């Protein structure tokens, strides 16, 4: 995978935070820290999209039905999920 060089601007407080993460041994340099932030945001976005899709699927599945805990437990005990 190729790389692209970017120039970013941080506040002094943000820069100090990044430096502290590196000094704590969590990252070896600024770029590694920024790449990790991007990866985590990509994962979070994918999780959010999965939840959104599940909600839409649930809404489209029809009218809600009352949950019968007894019937559910019986199905689980019988091994019929």
pLDDT in tens, 21-57: 999 999 999 999 999 999 999 999 999 999 999 999 9
Could you give the C-alpha distances from 7 to 4, 10, 64, 74, in angstroms and in order? 10, 10, 51, 61
Q: Whole-angstrom Cα distance, residue 6 to residue 31?
A: 10
| Single pTM value for the model | 0.67
Sign of CA dihedral 16, 17, 19, 24: positive
Q: Whole-angstrom Cα distance, residue 17 to residue 80?
A: 52
The answer to whether residue 12 scores a pLDDT higher than 60 is yes
């Amino acid at each position: 995978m190729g790389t692209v060089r970017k120039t970013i601007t941080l506040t002094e407080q943000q820069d100090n935070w990044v430096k502290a993460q590196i000094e704590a041994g969590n990252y070896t340099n600024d770029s590694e820290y920024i790449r990790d932030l991007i990866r985590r945001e990509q994962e979070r976005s994918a999780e959010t999209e999965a939840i959104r899709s599940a909600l839409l699927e649930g809404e489209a599945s029809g009218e809600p039905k009352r949950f019968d805990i007894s019937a559910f437990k019986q199905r689980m005990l019988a091994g019929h999920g």
